[in-house]
Structure formats: structure tokens, C-alpha cells
Amino acid sequence: MNRSVRIVGVALAGTAAGIAAVLTTTDSVVPDLAILTAALVIGELVELRPAGRAPLPLSLAVVVVLVRAATPVQFVILVVAGQIVTIALRSDPASIPARLVVSAERIAEALAAGAAYRVVVETWTGADDRATVLGALTAAAFAEIAVADIVTAVRERRLAPLRNRAADLAIVTSGILMAVGYGGIEGKGDLGLWGPALFSIPLLAAWYSFELLALTRRSFEQTVRALAAAPELGGLVREGHAERVAALATGMGRELNMSVSELEQLETAALLHHLGAVCLDEPEPGDVLDPVRVAEAGATMLRASEELAPAGDVVAAEPLLHRPPRPTEGPVAALAGMVLKVASAYDELTDGRDEHAAWAVEALYTGPGYVYDGRVLGALERVLERRGALMPMR
Amino acid sequence: METSPKTRHAFNAYCFGLGFVALAIGVVLTFTTPTPDPVPMVLLGALFAIAENRCVLLANNVAVSASLMLGMAAVVVFGTSGAVLGSLVVGMCGALYVPHFREHKWSFIMSNVGICGLSALAASSVYAALPSGVTTSVESQLLIAAPIGLAYALFNFAFLVPAIATGSGTSVHELVQGFRLMCWQVYPFALLGVLLGRVYLSLGAWIVPLFVAPIFIARQAFASYMQLRAQHAATLSTLVRALEAKDRYTAGHVERVAKFAEYMGRGLEMKPAELERLRYAALMHDIGKLIVPNQILNKPGRLTEEEFDRMRRHEHVSVELMRRIDFLAPIAPSLEAEAAKGSGADPNTPIEARIVTVADAFDAMTSTRAYRRALTQEVAFQELRDKAGIQFDATCVQALIATIEARGERYGSGHEVDVVDFATPPPVVGTGSAGLGDLASEQHGAR
């Protein structure tokens, strides 16, 4: 059953529950709650997927509306009920225990939102005051994101970076706006369910854009990786060399505080740094390709396109094994080139196997200082220590 | 675009005239209508200018910007109070397009002052003229958003037509087409604009940043998407060029195959997304040649058995590489199968693979290769027609021949663009339709 069928199913079920509630109760909030719960479940199935981060379900925004519409008891019941339904409907992750973990996370996030909302409403005076409502909704929205961050930090054992938070901001602002539209403020601007429905349009637009971006990013990465494999399939380079060097180099780049875009260029350069080999004549048996010529051929190829030119600069800076970097190379390309050089040399020395790590690092340290930069070697050591390939020095 | 001094004068006169008319109306309105609230005027005006400067250009040259939404918000806010001067001022902020100032394009700036200001003013007057009951409930707002938004876009368009007609060579027909393309984005932005106007009136200025933030974020993500897509296309072209540089005997082959594939795709009325995938498949169909050593690719004489095997392996590598790219993976296996046993006419083969087969064969026949000279277009067409339904898909063959004939293009002997200097002149023999297949039958008759 594909996702759109499930979404339509949930929407129909929610509408039916809403109609049933209108017919059976006099409480005007109950139908709204039925529809909001359906929206919560749908929001679980639709995720914002920013690059390099855990996906954010749109349900995070719906929770902010629900926390305002429901009493605390209703809120807890509906959140748990919504998550139980979601467990059955989710297709990713595949296994039931993994889905339970995800749903438990979501419940924790929603409860944090509920608690934050209550605390602000109870402690700040004047329950319908603009500052109170806005403060409480903002607290609720941020509480969810904070819990999601903590969960991610525990799972990945590193703090989520504060940069690249556009997707979170879209969720937070839309959630607050949808909730404001639901109840209005000081008796004004109450649009009922139209509020969350209409104010979700910008969020859906953001979701669509992120979706297109994620799809294109994946095709792009796959294209680069497929091309990276070409020299390997041709037997010109050891198998898996490009992928291993890319993983190691980006790890080292992160240690050296390179920016996201610099890391992307470094990764592309690392994946394609042997591509030049396919342009050169095959060496006579027993001969090897000249690394400087390989890099120059590859860099020429990459520099032909504006978008890949920075990666081309990095590739060009890489192979200058026996001389200091040229002064004309930009500092970024020079640093990235050095990272690539060290990562590639490490992979050559270890034959792609980490058990020779200590020996390889020692060999790199004994090379001339201008060939293997000390800072870059330090970054290599830290990455290897984290991987468990190298014993920590201190 | 070269324009005569006369039309240039007409263009300038229209631009400046429109701008001054807008400014004059502004002065008159200052004394005749209620003074607009400065807070929304500054806020919406600033956002309007930002939106104009941050528009995203789509592939078909249609610009998407949130300025329509902000204009509509101004229409609602100032139309309600009757202070339509506010709409005029907010609209005029659309002229604050930084590149125009940097390049001193004063006529563009003045025309934008006129076009954006007057269309916002006109839409606002229409809104103000509506009976007050129509504009209060949510449901009626949903309904009025469409006509008001369309009116706003139409005013904009009406003021724009003379400017573009005199300023550039664009025909009115093309303009109308562009306008029709733009219409699909009017309603969502108009609806959001009306909504923003209403919540502004009932809740105040603090709601605006909450409203604008997700839209701005959506815009940023969309712009990144457009950029990445271009980057993806450029990457592939770059690598295809690299491939061409490696194999100079088939110079231009891949780009031509992509072109013929596009002819067929358009002839078969494929959608833009399908055409994009087709183009990528066509560009990638020979990518495996990257691994064939230059010495073999460029060898003028016959290949040894071992060399020939290495040459054949490239088809397998092309497929292996395409398999690693999700959106090409469904086509990949059939490209290999088609290359191996000629299933180009099998209706179960994906259409992209059938198209690439025909494109590849047609270009191979109409280009001079190391082992034979190019055939004439007529002979190549005849060969395609003869094998249609057997080796090639009949509809694809028909679409290709029809398109090439309709465009009046000529390929093949006597019309080759990339003529290669061969050390040994290629023989004038062989009508076989596949590049490598020929090589096999001529040199290894029994294979």
C-alpha cells in the first residue's frame, strides 16, 4: 500500500470520525480533535528531509495545534492513540520494534510540548493574553525540537549542529501560526479548523521543496559515486578506494572545522580524484600511472563545469607529493587538497585495511613536513581513534 | 536583442511615463484618501522588495516569487480601510530590484514603479469596492482570493505588455503563453496573501514574520533544488565531454544520441520528467567506454580477440554504473539486453531503452567510423524502416524519421559535422546498423 493511499485513508477516517462526533456529541471541540488527530497521523507519514539530518515529521507542527485544542488528558490520549495507529501505517523503519522506538520518541516529544505549554499557561497570568498564548505555543514548539535533538544526540553521540536549521524553523513557525489560527488571540483571528488547514500551506510548500531537493541530491550523489567507480571497474584503481578515501577525508575535514559546502567539495573531489586515470593511455605492463598527470587530467575534466570547478581545484592540489603547495592555490583548496592527499596516501599504505593504521600513520609522520601537514595528520589520527582503528595517545 | 533608436525611445517614453503617472496618482491620493497606516506599509513594502530580489527562475523561464502574496496582503489591508495609497506604495517597492540600480537601468526601475504600483492600486480599488459582507468570513476569503489575484495579475500583465513589446523583440503571443504558465501559481499565492492580510488586520504586525518564515524557507529549499539540478546536469555533460575527448573517432556521438532521443521523446509526447530521464539515459549509454583503454578505442586497424573482448565489456560497465543510480536503474538492464540480443522492438522493454537503441543505431550509421564510411541519410532511414518491428521499435523509428524530416535536418555522408582524420581511410562498405555489432560481424564472422 503506497503512502498516498494510506494518507487518503487516514484523512477519510478522520473526516468520518469528525462527522460521527458532530452527530453524537454536543461538545463542539470533539469533532475538531478527531480531525486534528487524523492530521497528526498524516503528519507522521510526511517528513521534511533536510540534508544530513534526521527527518522531521510535519506532525510536530500539528502537535502544537493539538496542545491548544485539547485538555491535558485528551492530549495525552490522542497523542498515544495517534502513535499506535502510526505504528501500523509506517513503512519506514521496516521492523515493528524499530517503529515502536520511533513512536516512543514522538510521544516523548509531544509530552514535552504539552508540559511546556502547560507550565507557561499556568505560571504566566492572564490566560488569554497575547504574550501568554504566544509564549506557551513557542515553548511547546521548541520543546519538541529540543527533545528531538537530545534523542539524536544520544543516538549519534554528537550534538546536533545549530546551523542548517531552516527545516526546524519552518516547523516551529508554522506550528505556532496554525495554533494561533485555531483559537485566535484575545478573541480575534479565530479561524477554527480553517486556521491550521490554511496555515499549513507554506509548510507543505517547504516540504515539497525539501522533497525535490532530497531526490535530486540523491541522484546527484549516486551519479558521482557511479562515476567514482568507473576507474575501479576498469581495474585502474583498487576497489573501494574512492569511497574509503571520501569517508576518511570528510571525517578529517569535519575535524578541521571545514564548512558544509567545503566538505561537499572535498567529498566530490575525493570520490573523483582518480577519474583522470580513464583519460590517460594505459601504462605498459609493470608501469604505473603518473599521479600528477592523473590529477591534472581529472582536474581539467572537473574544471570544465562551473559547479565542479572547486572540486577540480582540490583534485589538482592533491598529488603534489614531493613539493610544497603552489602559492596560487586558494587556502581552502590547498587545505582540502592536503586532506585528500593524506587520506589517499593512508588508504594506499594500509591497502584499505585499518589493521595497519598505526604503521601507516607513523609512515606519514616521517614524510617531509610540507608534504604531510601536521594539522591534517592530527585530524587523521582523531578520526582513526574515533573509528577504533588507533589507540588514543593520551 | 538589437533595437532601433525609435523603438528604444518608445520604450523609454512608456517606462518613464508609466512611472510618473504612478507617482502623480500617489500625490493625488495623498490628499484625497485616508492616510495609510505606516507600519504595514513599511513592513509589507520591505518584504515585497525582498521577494522581488529573491525570485526563483524555473527551467521554462517563469519566475516564481512571493511578491504576489505580499501585494495581495497589501490589497486586503489597505483595501479594507480605503487607504489605497498604501497599496500603491507597497507595490512601488517592487521597483527596488538591486541589479537594476547597480546597472543604472532607470527605465526598468521607472516601469516597475508604474507596473507594480498601479496593478496593486487597481486590485486594491476592486477589493475596496466589494460589499463589506463578502470579505469577512474565511469561506468567502477562499472564494475571492482567485478573482482578486487574477485581477492583480491581469493588471500587471496589461501594463507589462507594451513595455516588453517595445523593449524587446518578444511577441505578444509569447507573452500570453508566459502569462498562462504563470497563472497556476497565482491562486496559492493570492490565497496566502488574502489570508496574511486578514490575520494582519485581526492580530497585528507580529504575525507577519511567523507567516513569512516558512515561505522564505520553502523558497530557499526550492532555489537549492534548482541549483542542484543544474549542477547534476552539468556534471554529466562534463563527464560526457571527457568521454568524447578519450574516443576521438566517435566525436559528438553521445550528444547526438541524446538529441535524437529527445526528438523521439518529444514525438511520442513524453512528459518533461520523462524527457529528462531519457536524456540522462542517452548520455550514460556509453559511459562504460571510460574504462576501455585509449589504445584500444583509437586503434586504427583491426582489434585482436582480447582487445575486442575488453571493448565489449564497456556495455556491461555502462549498465553496472547506471544501475547504481536509482532513477536510471529500471532502464539499465534492458539497455544491456538490447545490446546483447537486439530486443529493441520488444514492447516489454522500457521505452527509453528502445529509443536509445534507435538513436544509437542511426548515429552509428550516419557517422564515419574506423571500419567504414558514413552512409547517406536515405540508406540509414531505409535500414531503420526495414528493421522496424524486428530490431527496432516501429513507433520510435517513425517518430525519429518524421522529426528529422520536419526539421529539414541532414545527417550522414556529406553532412557530417565532426569529421575525423583517420590514419587509414575507412572502407566504403557495410550497411550493418549497430556500431559495435558491425565490428563483430566483420572481424569475427562466426560470432
- The pLDDT tens digits for B328-338 are 888 877 666 65
The per-residue pLDDT for range B185-205, each reduced to its tens digit, is 788 888 888 888 888 888 888
> Is residue A366 pLDDT above 70, yes or no?
yes
A205 and A241 co-located in one domain: no
Residue A222 is assigned to a structural domain of this protein:
no
Mean pLDDT, residues A132-143: 92
Which residues from chain B sit within 8 angstroms of residue A170, using beta carbons?
Answer: 213-214, 217-218
Nearest C-alpha of chain B: how many angstroms from A119? Answer: 23
Say if residue A276 is in the same domain as residue A145.
no
Domain encompassing residue A329: 234-387
Q: Nearest residue on chain B to A308, judged by CA atoms?
A: B235
- Please check whether residues A157 and A203 belong to one and the same domain: yes
On the question of pLDDT at B446 being above 60, the answer is: no
Count CB neighbours of B159 within 10 A: 21
Tell whether A218 is covered by a domain: no
Tell the CATH topology of B5-215: Arp2/3 complex 21 kDa subunit ARPC3 (1.10.1760)
* Contact (CB<8Å) A202/B293: no
Of residues A134, A189, A206, nearest to B214 (C-beta): A206
Q: What is the pLDDT of residue A77?
A: 95
pLDDT at site B135: 62
The candidate with the shortest Cα–Cα distance to B126, out of B151, B146, B163, is B151
Domain stops at, among A213, A247, A278: A213
Q: Do B218 and A229 touch (CB under 8 A)?
A: no
Cross-strand bridge partners of residue B56: B64
Q: Do A222 and B232 touch (CB under 8 A)?
A: no
**A62 and A94 fall within a common domain:** yes
Q: What is the per-residue pLDDT for B441?
A: 37
A262-283 burial by CB neighbour count: b if 16+ within 10 A, else e?
bbbbbbbbbbbbbbbbbbbebe
- Tens-place pLDDT, residues B62-78: 666 778 888 889 988 88
Residue of B nearest to A235 (CA): B291
Q: Which residue of B has its CA nearest to A195?
A: B138
Q: Does the pLDDT of residue A140 top 90, yes or no?
A: yes
pLDDT of A174 reads 95
Residue B339 has pLDDT above 60, yes or no: no
Distance CA B157, CA B162 (A): 9
Q: Which among A188, A198, A203 has the least Cβ separation from residue B202?
A: A188
* Inter-chain CB proximity A169 and B213 less than 8 Å: yes
Query: Which residues on B lie below 8 Å from A220 (Cβ)?
Result: 228, 231-232, 235
Least confident of A173-177, A376-380, B105-109, B235-239: B235-239
Cell, residue B279: 536524456
pLDDT greater at residue B426 or residue A100: A100
Most trustworthy range by pLDDT among A316-330, A337-351, B155-169? A337-351
User: Given CB atoms, is B322 within the 8 Å cutoff of chain A?
Assistant: yes
Judged by CB atoms closer than 8 Å, whether chains meet at B202 and A189 is answered as yes
CA distance A185 to B368: 77
Cβ–Cβ of B209/A173 closer than 8 Å? yes
Same domain, A247 and A350: yes
Looking at residue B107, its amino acid is S
Q: How many structural domains does chain A have? A: 2
Between A372 and B362, whose confidence is greater? B362
| In a domain? residue A148 | yes
Confidence class for position A117, pLDDT limits 50, 70, 90: very high
Do A363 and A302 belong together in one domain?
A: yes
pLDDT digits (tens, 9 = 90+) for B116-127: 888 888 888 888
Q: Where are the domains of chain B?
A: 5-215, 247-443
Average pLDDT, chain B: 80
Q: Do domains B5-215 and B247-443 have the same CATH topology?
A: no
Give the nearest partner residue to A216 out of B202, B228, B288, using CB atoms.
B228
Candidate from B198, B290, B326 with C-beta closest to A230: B290
Q: Which of A336-350, B229-243, B309-323 has the highest mean pLDDT?
A: A336-350
pLDDT of residue A177: 93
Which pLDDT belongs to residue A22? 86
Asked if the structure places residue A227 within a domain, the reply is no
**A66 and A163 in a common domain:** yes
Q: Is residue A392 part of a domain?
A: no
Confidence of residue B103 (pLDDT cuts 50, 70, 90): confident
Task: Looking at the structure, tell me whether residues A58 and A171 fall in a common domain.
Answer: yes
| Average pLDDT over every residue of A51-56 | 81
Same structural domain, A243 and A193:
no
pLDDT at B343: 55
Give the position of cell 527596488: B96
Residue A223, domain member (yes or no): no
Taking contacts as CB-CB distances below 8 angstroms, the residues of chain B near A53 are: none
Give the Cα separation of B189 and B182 in Å (integer): 11
Can you give the pLDDT at residue A178?
94
Contact B374, B413 (CB under 8 A): yes
| Residue numbers in B near A230 (CB within 8 A) | 287-288, 290-291, 317, 321
Strand A47-48 relative to strand B56-57: parallel, antiparallel, unpaired? unpaired
Cβ contacts (< 8 Å) between B230 and chain A: which residues? 307
Checking if the pLDDT of B2 tops 60, the result is: no
Give the mean pLDDT of A177-199. 87
Which residues make Cβ contacts (< 8 Å) with residue A336, sequence separation at least 6?
A: A253, A258, A262, A265, A266, A269, A314, A317
- Percent share of chain B, pLDDT over 70: 81
Band (A124; pLDDT cuts 50, 70, 90): confident
Res. A15: pLDDT tops 50:
yes
Topology, domain B247-443: Hypothetical protein af1432 (1.10.3210)
Q: Which residues contact B281 (CB under 8 A, 6 or more apart)?
A: B261, B322, B328, B331, B335, B352, B353, B356
Q: Give the Cα separation of B312 and B319 in Å (integer).
A: 12
| A279–B242 C-beta distance less than 8 A | yes
Q: How far is A356 from chain B (nearest CA, A)?
A: 30
pTM score of the predicted model: 0.80
Residue B401: predicted pLDDT: 93
Q: Is residue A207 part of a domain?
A: yes
Do the Cβ atoms of A224 and B235 come within 8 Å? yes
Report chain B residues whose CB lies below 8 A from the CB of A180: 199, 203, 207, 210
Question: What's the CATH code of the domain at A328?
Answer: 1.10.3210.10
Is the distance from CB of B94 to CB of B18 less than 8 angstroms? no
Interface of B with A in 136-155 (CB under 8 A): 138-139
pLDDT band at A323 (very low <50, low <70, confident <90, very high): low
- So what's the pLDDT on residue B249? 65
* Confidence label for B432 from pLDDT (cuts 50, 70 and 90): very low
Calculate how close chain A gets to B18, using CA atoms only, in Å.
Answer: 34
Confidence of residue B144 (pLDDT cuts 50, 70, 90): confident
pLDDT, average across residues A305-331: 67
Q: What is the spatial distance between Cα B199 and Cα A181, in angstroms, rounded to a whole number?
A: 8
What integer pLDDT is reported at residue B52 of this predicted model? Answer: 84
- Residues 6 or more apart whose Cβ sits within 8 Å of residue B80: B127, B128, B135, B197, B201
pLDDT at B437: 38
Give percent of chain B above pLDDT 90.
Answer: 9
Q: Which of B200, B207, B220, B235 to mutate to test the interface with A (most CBs of A within 10 A)?
A: B235
CA angle A40, A41, A43 (to 5 degrees): 65
Of B263, B280, B438, B252, nearest to B358 by C-alpha is B263
In chain A, the percentage of residues whose pLDDT exceeds 90 is 29
Cβ burial, residue B25 (10 Å; 0-12/13-18/19+): middle
Domain end (from A213, A248, A267)? A213
Tell me, what's the pLDDT at A58? 94
More confident call, A29 vs B423: A29
Of B139, B217, B291, the CB nearest to A234: B291
Whether A192 shows a pLDDT value over 90: the answer reads: no
User: Under a CB-based contact definition with an 8 Å cutoff, are residues A390 and A258 in contact?
Assistant: no
Chain B neighbors of A208, CB-CB under 8 A: 218
> What confidence tens digit (pLDDT) does each residue in B280-319 have?
888 888 888 877 887 777 776 677 888 888 777 787 888 8
E runs forming strands in A40-81: 47-48, 56-57
pLDDT by residue (tens digit) across B171-190?
Answer: 677 777 767 766 777 888 88
Q: What are phi and psi of A185, to 5 degrees?
A: -135, 135
Distance from CA of B203 to the nearest CA of A (A): 6
Residue that finishes a domain, picked among A213, A244, A271: A213
Same domain, A163 and A259: no
Q: How far is A92 from chain B (nearest CA, A)?
A: 18
Report the alpha-carbon distance of residue A41 to residue A12 in Å, rounded: 12
Q: What is the mean pLDDT of residues A246-255?
A: 92
**Measured between alpha carbons, how far is B407 from B399 in angstroms, rounded to an integer?**
12
Predicted-complex ipTM score: 0.80
pLDDT at B431 over 50: no
Is A320 in the same domain as A174? no
B435 confidence band (pLDDT: 50, 70, 90): very low
Q: Looking at the predicted structure, is the pLDDT value of residue B369 above 80? A: no
Those of residues 16-75 in B touching chain A at CB distance below 8 A are none
Task: Give the cell for residue A202.
Answer: 507554506
Q: Do you find a cis peptide bond into B5, omega within 30 degrees of 0?
A: no
Residues of A with CB below 8 A from B138's CB? 191-192, 194, 198
Q: Nearest C-alpha of chain A: how many angstroms from B205? A: 13
Residue A211: the pLDDT is 92
Query: What is the pLDDT at residue B445?
Result: 34
Q: Are residues A7 and A141 in the same domain?
A: yes
